[in-house]
Amino acid sequence: MKVIFMGTPDFAAVSLQRLIDDGHEILAVYTQPDKPKGRGYKLTPPPVKELAMRYGLPVFQPTRLKDGKVAAQMREFGPDIIVVAAYGRLLQKDILELPPLGCVNVHGSLLPRYRGAAPIQWAVINGEKEAGVTTMYMAQGLDCGDMILKASTAVGENETSGELYDRLAVLGADCLSETMALFAREWAQGRRPKGIPQDESDATHAPMLEKSMGSIDFSKPAQQVHNLIRGMNPWPSAYTRLDGKLLKVHRSVLAEGEGAPGEILDPQTFTVACGKGAIQLTEVQLEGAKRMDASVFLRGHPLQKGTVLGVR
């Protein structure tokens, strides 16, 4: 099929690669503008652009979608379908109604749960045991269109949102491949696949994460603290304070023990008390230093039993 693809991060690049591998004709790729990164703030292309350029595909990076120019440009390409994956902007009506097969989105959750910009991270933060992807017809509004196919996977006890993100990117590409095959079969019969309406009563939202959300409240149960640490990895990172310095916590595991919230119960293993139960910090990063395994950190920063984390 003739496809226009819209996407930006690694998650989307995996789906674009699958479309290419499956032999679809990629007419054009739309992605977000390059952004400054690193210490030198050098303009860096998004992963989707890098992939598209390797294949010599036309790439467009509009800053506006509302003026009708993008829709007019897309109309000239004459796509059968527009495929979207983590593009980063809501599409206007003139784009949504442009292709005969519609606009299909690959979303990183089991809709209608976790509509929004950070579905994978919130699934981990909320301690979901199952996550997945959904392909859906796009409609005006946030991830509210009719669903086409779903695929699910179990979430590991210690799995971070970054690790789940990578797995769901592949699962999303698999689901997209099946969806495109379904479209090809149905289109050969002169029709589009039927979508399944979402149950609005089950809808939840997954807003963009902010750095302030990573502050660890050790008065909460250990499981909730552990989930926050997993969900904030790799960005923006969960954090606390040790002897007044910022301490990022990248990984943890559940542990046994009781004490005052934030109290170091075992300085040899970096086990910390929570409101209920305890956690062991296994990968940390002290302010101004590199992230490292907690065992390495403890060799250079011996702790005292009874020290309370979070104190400024």
User: pLDDT, tens digit, for every residue of 101-115?
Assistant: 999 999 999 999 999
* Distance in angstroms (rounded) separating the CA atoms of residues 135 and 139: 13
User: What is the structure's pLDDT at 80?
Assistant: 97
* Distance in angstroms (rounded) separating the CA atoms of residues 272 and 266: 7
- Residue 142 CA: distances (Å) to CA of 105, 138, 202: 11, 9, 14
* Distance in angstroms (rounded) separating the CA atoms of residues 182 and 81: 13
CA dihedral 119, 124, 126, 132 (to 10 degrees): 50
Categorize the per-residue pLDDT at 37 as very low, low, confident or very high, splitting at 50, 70 and 90.
confident
User: What is the structure's pLDDT at 237?
Assistant: 98
Taking each helix axis as running N to C, give the angle between helix 47-54 and helix 10-21, from 0 to 180 degrees, rounded to the nearest 10.
Answer: 30
User: What is the structure's pLDDT at 127?
Assistant: 98
High-pLDDT (> 70) share of the chain, %: 100
pTM attached to this predicted model: 0.96
pLDDT at 311 over 90: no
User: What is the structure's pLDDT at 41?
Assistant: 79
C-alpha dihedral sign at 161, 166, 167, 168 = positive
pLDDT at 39 over 80: no
Categorize the per-residue pLDDT at 42 as very low, low, confident or very high, splitting at 50, 70 and 90.
confident
**CA nearest 225: which of 214, 236, 235?**
214
Categorize the per-residue pLDDT at 259 as very low, low, confident or very high, splitting at 50, 70 and 90.
very high
Token pair for residue 57?
């595909």
pLDDT at 21 over 80: yes
Categorize the per-residue pLDDT at 125 as very low, low, confident or very high, splitting at 50, 70 and 90.
very high
Token pair for residue 151?
């695929």
User: How high is the mean pLDDT of the chain?
Assistant: 96
pLDDT digits (tens, 9 = 90+) for 146-205: 999 999 999 999 999 999 999 999 999 999 999 999 999 999 999 999 999 999 999 999
Categorize the per-residue pLDDT at 278 as very low, low, confident or very high, splitting at 50, 70 and 90.
very high
pLDDT at 133 over 90: yes
pLDDT at 58 over 90: yes
Token pair for residue 84?
């979207």
C-alpha dihedral sign at 8, 10, 11, 15 = positive
Does the N-terminal peptide bond of residue 236 adopt cis geometry, omega within 30 degrees of 0?
yes
Does the N-terminal peptide bond of residue 207 adopt cis geometry, omega within 30 degrees of 0?
no
Could you give the maximum distance between any two Cα atoms of the chain, in Å? 72
Q: How far is CA 279 from the centre of its chain?
A: 25
pLDDT at 30 over 90: yes
Average pLDDT over residues 297-308: 96
Q: How far is CA 3 from the centre of its chain?
A: 24
Question: Higher confidence at residue 105 or residue 40?
Answer: 105
Categorize the per-residue pLDDT at 206 as very low, low, confident or very high, splitting at 50, 70 and 90.
very high
Could you tell me the domains of the chain?
2-202 (3.40.50.170), 211-300 (3.10.25.10)
Categorize the per-residue pLDDT at 40 as very low, low, confident or very high, splitting at 50, 70 and 90.
confident
Average pLDDT over residues 47-76: 96
The conformational region for residue 86 under phi > 0 = left, psi -120 to 50 = alpha, else beta, is left
